[in-house]
Amino acid sequence: MDIASLNEKYVLDGHIRFAEGNGGLPVAIINSQIAESEISLYGAQVLTYKPKGQQDVLWMSEKSMFEAGKAIRGGIPVCFPWFGPHPTDNQKPMHGFARLLNWEVSGTTVLANGAVELRLSLVDSLATKAIWPFSFRAEMIISIGACLEVILQYANTGNETFVCSNALHSYFQVSNINNISVNGLSGTNYYVGADKESLTKQTNPLLTIQNEENRRYIDHVADCIIDDTGYNRKIRVAKRGSKVTVVWNPWEGAKNFADMTPEGYKTMVCVEAVNAYNDIVNLAPGNSFSISTIISVE
Which tens digit of pLDDT belongs to each residue from 56-69?
999 999 999 999 99
CA-closest candidate to residue 167, choices 71, 64, 284: 71
Share of the chain above pLDDT 70, in %: 100
Could you state, in order of their start, the residue ranges of all structural domains in the chain?
Answer: 3-297
For the cut 90, the answer to whether the pLDDT of residue 43 exceeds it is yes
pLDDT band at 251 (very low <50, low <70, confident <90, very high): very high
Out of 139, 169, 213, 220, the active site residue is 169
What are the backbone angles phi and psi of residue 131, rounded to the nearest 5°? -120, -10
pLDDT the model gives residue 194: 82
Q: Give the Å distances, CA to CA, from 221 to 56, 105, 183, 244, 275.
A: 25, 31, 13, 7, 11
Burial class (CB in 10 A: 0-12, 13-18, 19+), 205: exposed
Q: What percent of the chain has pLDDT over 90?
A: 96
The active-site residue, picked from 38, 139, 213, 272, is: 272
Domain 3-297 has CATH 2.70.98.10: yes
Q: What is the structure's pLDDT at 273? A: 98
Would you call 242 helix, strand, or coil by DSSP? coil
Q: Look up the pTM and report it.
A: 0.97
Number of neighbouring beta carbons within 10 Å of residue 256: 9
What would the mean pLDDT of 197-214 be, rounded to a whole number?
Answer: 95
Considering only CA atoms, which of 297, 298, 251, 245 is closest in space to residue 275?
A: 245
Contact indicator for 156, 288 with CB cutoff of 8 Å: yes
pLDDT in tens, 259-275: 999 999 999 999 999 99
**Residue 197: per-residue pLDDT:** 84
For the purposes of burial, counting CB atoms within 10 Å of the CB of 285, is it exposed (0-12), middle (13-18) or buried (19 or more)?
Answer: middle
The pLDDT value given to residue 195: 80
Q: What is the 3-state secondary structure (H, E, C) of 132-187?
A: CCCCEEEEEEEEECCCEEEEEEEEECCCCCEEECEEECCEEECCCHHHEEEECCCC
Confidence of residue 228 (pLDDT cuts 50, 70, 90): very high
169 flagged as catalytic? yes
User: CB count, 10 Å around CB of 58?
Assistant: 23
Burial per residue of 99-133, b for 16 or more beta-carbon CB atoms within 10 angstroms, e otherwise: bbbebebeebeeeeeebbbbbbbbebeeebeeebe
Structure confidence at residue 138 (pLDDT) = 98
Band (pLDDT 50/70/90 cuts) for residue 33 is confident
Q: What are 113-128's pLDDT values in tens digits?
A: 999 999 999 999 999 9
Average pLDDT (100-122) is 97
The burial of 69, by beta-carbon neighbours within 10 Å (0-12 exposed, 13-18 middle, 19 or more buried), is given as exposed
Q: Predicted confidence band at 75 (pLDDT cuts at 50, 70, 90)?
A: very high
pLDDT at 1 > cutoff 80: no
Q: In this model, does residue 32 exceed pLDDT 80?
A: yes
Q: Phi, psi (5° rounding) for residue 234?
A: -120, 130
| Low-confidence winner among 107-121, 137-151, 184-198, 221-235 (lowest mean pLDDT) | 184-198
In this prediction, residue 107 has a pLDDT band, given cuts at 50, 70 and 90, of: very high
Annotated catalytic residue 272: yes
